Amino acid sequence: MHLIFVTGGVVSGLGKGISTSSIAKVLKMKGFSATVMKIDPYINFDAGTLRPSEHGEVWVTEDGGETDQDLGNYERFTDTTLGKKHNVTTGQVFSTVIERERKGEYLGKTVQPIPHITDEIKKRIIDVADSTKADFVLIEIGGVVGDYENILFLETARQMKLENIPVVFVHVAYLPFLEKLGEIKSKPVQHSTRELLSLGIQPDFIICRSAMPIDDVRKEKIGLFCNIAKQNIIDNPDIGNIYELPLFFEEQDFGNKILKKFNIDAKPSDDIEWKNFVNILNNVDKTIKIGIVGKYFDIGGYKLLDSYVSVIEAVRHACAENQVSPDIRWIDSKDFEKYPSRLDDLKQLDGIIIPGGFGGSGVEGKISAIQYARENNIPYLGLCYGMQLAVIEFARNVCKLENAHSTEILPDCKNPVVDILPWQKEIIAKQNYGATMRLGGQIVKIKPGTLAYATYNKGNVIERFRHRYEINPDYVNILEKYGLIFSGSTPDETIKQIAELPGHKFFIASQFHPEFTSRPLKPNPLFDGFVKACIDLVR
């Protein structure tokens, strides 16, 4: 067991997850196995109950966990499948300890943050190390050093080193560039490292997140004040393409420097495939315009694209595969409700995606966009909500089913073509919302002779789900009669999971989220098929 703890300094949102993923990737390129965990300081049991516009996308693991979006980066960079236990939260740890206390398991003892909470955190880390048998376990600690909230996690890390487990600490800190002075300032990183030292943790490496690489003079200064050798200060400047970071780390021999800390001999890296992938992303000049029509784009004055990070990445993977580069346009569906004439702007797009979503806001705008894609032969990919709304659009405008809708939005609508999954009714009645959707990897049976079959080129696939509503089985016949094809279903064929339109350039919508199984060098077939249609490649 070799543990690498990654902490953050100065500000949050500085790309600690990408740094952690890139370290794991570097170790994998050297032939080691590496797995990654995220420890989040919030009390929520999991990320499923957090608002995407506040916290970013909810990542769904194959085993049905609703986790922090960083697990998506870990899976993408390392091409592994992680389980829900790779995301630990304060909520999980405390509830386990409190439950144990109530059962009398600590009878007679005073139950305390140290050692009872720290022991539970340790147990969870060791469990991941044991069950994955990975050569390296990277543990990213959420938040920033100096926060109250993550102090018990940092304390756990300190204790693990004390227990003679091979541990390396990597501190990722931000160095601001002050434009007026024309200078990068190292004081904040010094202070955040001092804070870490006061907790008994000496970082082995400092990763400098900044606008540009750090010069030698400053590295010496940081080294002196932070008690660290200059060569262990690693650059991580702003780069346009996140997938370049492992290569940038490798240029600094970061992988071998980590191995040396663990007393493991240096090893060469096999990075040819990854380099090729990065080259394509950086160098293709053919561009396709893809519109993503959604609603979680604004928070205050900012556009928050984190809510759709996996969709963006899946598009990039498929584009790299097809040697094009995506020009993604963010389209707020509410605009079409206010200004219907804006629908005509969709004409200039090569393809349209409607991603997952919940609730009524912006829904009519999304339905109009789907109608536009259907009627104007624009490639369309619907993801979860994007499938339900495509079926509603078809029911309303082709089958002429008046007021067709989803009971999620209109509980007593006349034609509920999308209705709650029967076993979800009780859950909603009890308002038992945490981790109760239909979640995780499920088998999708694909009908031979369909576009979905041609796209996947197999009859059974496993894709990840996160939903409470389904295509109402009572309406399947009439929808099929008017030409909609249900090309994917549960193995027993009771729940429809893919819908497609024959005679259209490419119109596929899935009840699952294909973005969760897309990887660099291994794009998800639905995204690949969609991108091929966008560039008019005939399959």
Q: Which residues form the catalytic set? A: 384, 513, 515
CB 402 within 8 A of CB 415: yes
CB of 389 to ligand GLN, least distance (A): 9
CB of 154: closest distance to ligand GLN in angstroms?
A: 35
Name the residue nearer to ligand GLN (CB basis): 55 or 532.
55
Strands in 41-75 per DSSP E:
59-60, 66-67
Q: What is the dihedral of CA 296, 297, 302, 304, to 10 degrees?
A: 70
Cβ-based nearer residue to ligand GLN, 307 or 368: 307
The candidate with the shortest Cα–Cα distance to 445, out of 460, 430, 455, is 460
Q: Which is nearer to ligand GLN, 164 or 431 (CB)?
A: 431
- C-beta separation of 290 from 530 below 8 A: no
- From the list 58, 346, 379, the residue with the least C-alpha distance to 366 is 346
Query: Would you tell me which residues interact with ligand GLN (CB under 6 A)?
Result: 356-358, 384-385, 388, 408, 466-469
Q: Which is nearer to ligand GLN, 385 or 475 (CB)?
A: 385
Task: Give CA angle at 213 (210, 217), nearest 5°.
Answer: 110
Q: Are strands 496-500 and 485-489 parallel, antiparallel or unpaired?
A: antiparallel
Residue 373's Cβ-count burial label (10 Å; 0-12, 13-18, 19+) is: buried
Q: Radius of gyration of the chain from Cα atoms?
A: 25
Task: Report in angstroms how near the CB of residue 469 gets to ligand GLN at its nearest.
Answer: 3
* Least Cβ distance, residue 384 to ligand GLN (angstroms): 3
- Residue 454: CB minimum distance to ligand GLN, A: 25
Measured in whole angstroms, how far is the alpha carbon of residue 339 from the centre of its chain? 32
Task: Tell me the three state secondary structure of residue 337.
Answer: helix
Rounded CA separation 68/143 (Å): 13
Residue nearest to ligand GLN (CB): 356
Q: How far is the CB of 410 from ligand GLN (least distance, A)?
A: 13
127: Cβ contacts below 8 Å, ≥ 6 apart: 85
Residue 56 and residue 69 in contact, taking contact as beta carbons nearer than 8 Å: yes
> Which one, 357 or 525, has the nearer CB to ligand GLN?
357
Nearer to ligand GLN among residue 384 and residue 533 (C-beta): 384
Nearest distance in Å: CB 74, ligand GLN? 21
- 435 torsion bin: left (phi>0), alpha (psi -120 to 50), beta (else): left
Nearer to ligand GLN, 218 or 467 (CB): 467
234 near 205, Cβ under 8 Å? Answer: yes
